[in-house]
Amino acid sequence: MNDQTLFSIFFSAMVVNNFTLALFLGLCPFMGVSARVETALRMGLANIFVLTLTSLAAWFLNTYVLENAPYLRIISFIIVVASLVQIVEMVVKKIAPVLFRQLGIFLPLMTTNCAIFGLAIFQTNRGYDFMQGIVFAIGAGLGLTLALVLMASIRETSELSDIPAIAKGTGLTLIIAGSLSLAFMGFAGLL
Amino acid sequence: MRTTTPAEDFVRGIWKENPVLIQMLGLCPALAVTNTLKNALAMSAATFFVLTCSSVLISSVKSLIPKEVRISSYILVIATFVTLADMLLQAYAPVQHKELGAFIALIVVNCMILGRQEAFSSRNTVYRSLLDAIGVGIGFTIALVMMGGFREILGIGTLFDIPLFGPNFEPWVVMVLPAGGFLMLGFIILGLGVFEQRKKSREAAAA
């Protein structure tokens, strides 16, 4: 059991321990789909949705199924995440085909998105209950979206600026991420 | 289709197609647990173990896995070995296990491992998959050791807990913080870019 208040869990997951900038979770989409603000925003929203579902599923598994078999945790979590992503993929393809094309490979890749799997593991390690888990998931999802959108807007702007040829691409993206992460450290004293 | 020799399979992953520095796979552990050299080594060892075992197992049973469910099957195999690695570390290196925490479990979602299974082990013989896995594993270790070494030297002023600079050294604390991970990897990649460009212009001058 964990006795943190809901607000501190939410706030900590969103900015202080931002999944992308402080814990390095979900870096693949962070590098991959952060070229356009609009796509980044949609990816973030899709992430919030999957994260919340994962949190629900992980809580359910922990409480009712895995009580006596903690060693099966990693295997059962990954199956749950994989099936959830599959379902979300089918739903998105059906109701928002444009979004489906924009997200491309990064939607199925959510299975191997550390953020989603990491959420299930962190939630378990910290012993969050049902409500705490949901709040944690939404906070983490909003944090991911925030990081993605910030990154995308900086990259959109930097496309027009004069950058040395060797610095273009991943190197620059990483340095920008580093500076963003530094900025987010400023939130550390808040909690 | 046999386009590469076994020796090439082995060497390729070490530097030319280095998983972290060139292909940008498996970034999460490369950034998260490389604040000291010891943690970087423990992480590399665990990943190496999982990668090699999964590659060997998957390439030996590849004809039994139906094509439609291959990704799920690979993930299950990987998850099994990660559970094993988790337990082994807990038993034999409890300090490191505590330091790495949730990131051991997160080896499951390391895209590099799944990538090797999909791209290589599922179509090649056991022997060649083993060579490939060892090569990629060494490449991953090199990248992590570089990150961990530089960050520990600059951020704490020690290497393997041995002080390097004497008492007057002011550590760059930012290097052991999350931001330092991004910055260090960014600088390493920029450095490699400069190196590549020099090589290209030298080749152009020679030709």
User: Is A16 part of any domain?
Assistant: yes
Residue contacts between A and B (CB atoms, under 8 Å): 113
Which residues of chain B are within 8 Å of residue A78 when distances are taken between CB atoms? 75-76, 79, 108-109
User: Is A107 part of any domain?
Assistant: yes
Mean pLDDT for B102-113 is 86
Q: Choosing among A76, A150, A181, which should be mutated to test the B contact, i.e. which has the most B CBs within 10 A?
A: A181
Distance CA A31, CA A28 (A): 5
User: Is A190 part of any domain?
Assistant: no
Phi, psi of B158 (to 5 degrees): -130, 170
Burial B34-69 (b: 16+ CB within 10 A, else e): bbbbbbbbbbbbbbbbbbbbbbbbbbeebeebeeee
**Count of the separate structural domains present in chain A:** 1
User: What pLDDT, in 10s, does the model give residues B13-24?
Assistant: 888 888 888 877
The reply to whether residue A24 touches residue B190, judged by beta carbons under 8 angstroms, is no
State chain A's mean pLDDT as an integer: 84
Mean pLDDT for A69-76 is 84
pLDDT confidence of residue A2: 65
Distance CA A6, CA B35 (A): 30
User: Is A119 part of any domain?
Assistant: yes
**Ramachandran category for residue A162: left, alpha or beta (phi over 0 → left; psi -120 to 50 → alpha):** beta
pLDDT confidence of residue B24: 79
The reply to whether residue A174 touches residue B183, judged by beta carbons under 8 angstroms, is yes
Which residues of chain B are within 8 Å of residue A112 when distances are taken between CB atoms? 75, 109-111, 114
Instruction: Tell me the shortest Cα–Cα distance from A106 to chain B, in angstroms.
Output: 12
Residue for token pair 């030319």: B16
User: Is A74 part of any domain?
Assistant: yes
pLDDT confidence of residue A24: 85
User: What pLDDT, in 10s, does the model give residues B170-197?
Assistant: 888 888 888 888 999 999 988 888 888 8
Choose between A86 and B59: higher pLDDT: B59
Give the H/E segment covering residue B44: helix B37-60
* Closest to A141 in 3D by CA, of A15, A38, A44: A44
List of residues 6+ apart from A151 with CB closer than 8 A: A30, A34, A40, A173, A176, A177, A180
User: What pLDDT, in 10s, does the model give residues A38-52?
Assistant: 888 888 888 888 899
Distance CA B25, CA B41 (A): 18
Residue for token pair 């979300």: A88
Q: Could you report the predicted ipTM of this complex, rounded to two decimals?
A: 0.82
**Domain membership of residue A162 as a residue range:** 6-185
